[in-house]
Amino acid sequence: MYLFKQIHEIVFYGRGGYDYETIYNMPVWLRNTTYNFIANSIEKENKAQEESNQSSTSSKIDFSNPNQAKVILPSHYVGASKK
């Protein structure tokens, strides 16, 4: 069962780069390495997403006390010219 789960996850999370037959016939050491590379990549993406979500929730305005809200401008912000 582990073999088929591993094959499925490589094909699914491989984003179209692998097909079932190729993974099934792949040497075991290479299949395990490929699986670990994909698993580590997904883990890094999930951590980055969680960090992004945490930073975006910390900058939300507390509408019950708007005077203490801090507005953080994006780093690419350029002020409008005064004419």
* Contacts of residue 27, Cβ cutoff 8 Å, sequence gap at least 6: none
Establish if 82 belongs to a structural domain. Answer: no
Q: What is the tally of structural domains in the chain?
A: 1
Single-letter amino acid code for the residue at 33:
T
Residue ranges making up the domain that contains 15 = 2-56
Single-letter amino acid code for the residue at 13:
Y
Supply the pLDDT for residue 54. Answer: 78
pTM above 0.85, yes or no: no
Supply the pLDDT for residue 29. Answer: 96
Supply the pLDDT for residue 12. Answer: 92
Single-letter amino acid code for the residue at 50:
E
Rg of the chain (C-alpha set): 22
Chain centroid to Cα 80, Å, comes to: 34
Establish if 6 belongs to a structural domain. Answer: yes
The 10s digit of each residue's pLDDT in 18-29 is 999 999 999 999
Single-letter amino acid code for the residue at 9:
E
Establish if 77 belongs to a structural domain. Answer: no
